[in-house]
Amino acid sequence: MFTVLVGIADGCLAARPSISFAWPSEREGLILGRRSSRYASHHRRIQQSTPTRPFRLPGGLVSPASMNENTENLDSEDSFEAALQRHGMEFDAPLAESLRQYAELMWRYNEQLNLTRHTTWDLFVGRDLRDCLQLAHLIQPDEVVLDLGSGNGVPGIPLAILRPDVEVSLAESVGKRAKVLDEMVTELNLAVPVYAARGEQLLEDFRFTTIVSRAVGSLLKFCRWVEPHWSSFDRLLLVKGPRWVEERGEARHHGALKDVDLRVLASYPLGPPALDGGDDETPEGDEGADDAGPGQGVVLQLSRKGRFE
């Protein structure tokens, strides 16, 4: 059984980076939502940061390797609890309730906007939540994380629920979706800012330790996108499906990996496919999104060559 414990074990993670802040000027109007002391820290530009020690699993989060164990002969009822059982996951009650509320909000707004095709508990747990749990193990405490092209809030909102020790922001360039995301984080009482802007706009004024993204674009597209922005973040974590190998070949063919260090940080079996075999709808205007289908999911890390040596 997969159990998520939110506490962080002492001594197994990097120390908090030394940082200094300055308020941004012209981009402040892009921020949606309410303010709080922690919320406001997301709006500040990090001017200096020491490298985070990469990729040690938080001691308070159990490895996801045990997911899918003991999943036979379980109740097939389409409920959150039954889906968690089928996928070998178990959460403390407050965490489970927050995740449930998020899924229900997403489905409610899905009636107005095309946010997701994962409209059953089995798909939410087996696809969306599974991807977010993989990312949750790869983020250090006190990191400043941007969910790029957040769309329906995956992975950023579940990540903020699972890892309250991490500062998460959402970027969504489609205004209607950004407004819905802001309403969702408000209803969930999360101190998560939502930016109605493209990622490159934010990186002009802010610095993040990690950018995360799922179902937004091809590996080649991301390799080209990161080139002018390396000074504004340390690494990019991409959630991909089985097509990532094909995308890697395409990126190599175009020479896009020459100055990029590409690593596979996690590989895991995907949950059941959506009825049409596809992943979530991608943010408007983004081509080449990963159509996972059945098979293996991966978390890829892109960083500037030599950054973590």
pLDDT > 70: what percent of the chain? 67
CA–centroid distance for 41 within its chain: 19
Alpha carbon distances (Å) from 97 to 51, 94, 134: 35, 5, 20
**Which residue in 186, 3, 184, 34 sits closest to 104, CA to CA?**
184
In the annotated binding site, the residues are 149, 199-200, 214
Residue 279 has pLDDT above 50, yes or no: no
Looking at the domain assignment, is residue 9 inside a domain? no
For residue 173, give the CATH number of its domain.
3.40.50.150
Model confidence at 41, pLDDT cuts 50, 70, 90, reads: very low
Looking at the domain assignment, is residue 142 inside a domain? yes
Looking at the domain assignment, is residue 119 inside a domain? yes
Looking at the domain assignment, is residue 3 inside a domain? no
Angle between helices 93-110 and 175-187 (to 10 degrees): 150
* pLDDT tens-digit series, residues 157-192: 999 999 999 999 999 999 999 999 999 999 999 999
Model confidence at 75, pLDDT cuts 50, 70, 90, reads: very low
The Cα 5–Cα 91 span in angstroms is 8
pLDDT > 90: what percent of the chain? 62
Name the average pLDDT for the chain. 77
Looking up tokens 């991807």 gives: 131
Residue bearing the bigger pLDDT, 129 or 24 = 129
Please report, to the nearest 10 degrees, the dihedral formed by the alpha carbons of residues 158, 162, 163, 167 taken in order: 20
The Cα 297–Cα 284 span in angstroms is 23
Q: Look at residue 308 in the predicted model and tell me its pLDDT.
A: 81
Q: Look at residue 307 in the predicted model and tell me its pLDDT.
A: 84
The Cα 234–Cα 210 span in angstroms is 6
* pLDDT tens-digit series, residues 42-72: 444 333 333 333 333 333 344 444 454 443 4
Q: Where are the beta strands (DSSP E) in 74-215?
A: 89-91, 144-148, 167-171, 194-195, 208-214
The token duo for 130 is 């599974």
Read off the pLDDT of each residue in 80-87 and give the average, rounded to a whole number.
94
Looking at the domain assignment, is residue 206 inside a domain? yes
The Cα 117–Cα 280 span in angstroms is 6
Looking at the domain assignment, is residue 285 inside a domain? no
Q: Give the total number of structural domains in the chain.
A: 1
Model confidence at 222, pLDDT cuts 50, 70, 90, reads: very high
Residue 36 has pLDDT above 70, yes or no: no
Looking at the domain assignment, is residue 141 inside a domain? yes
Alpha carbon distances (Å) from 87 to 68, 162, 184, 271: 5, 17, 26, 8
CA–centroid distance for 193 within its chain: 14
* pLDDT tens-digit series, residues 107-156: 999 988 889 999 999 999 999 999 999 999 999 999 999 999 999 999 99
Looking at the domain assignment, is residue 122 inside a domain? yes
Alpha carbon distances (Å) from 201 to 29, 80, 170, 232, 291: 12, 37, 13, 11, 27
Peptide bond into 155 cis (omega under 30): yes
Model confidence at 294, pLDDT cuts 50, 70, 90, reads: low
Please report, to the nearest 10 degrees, the dihedral formed by the alpha carbons of residues 209, 214, 216, 218 taken in order: 90
In the annotated binding site for S-adenosyl-L-methionine, the residues are 149, 199-200, 214
Q: Look at residue 175 in the predicted model and tell me its pLDDT.
A: 95
State the residue range of the domain holding 90: 83-273+293-304
Q: Look at residue 95 in the predicted model and tell me its pLDDT.
A: 96
Model confidence at 27, pLDDT cuts 50, 70, 90, reads: very low
Q: Look at residue 23 in the predicted model and tell me its pLDDT.
A: 25
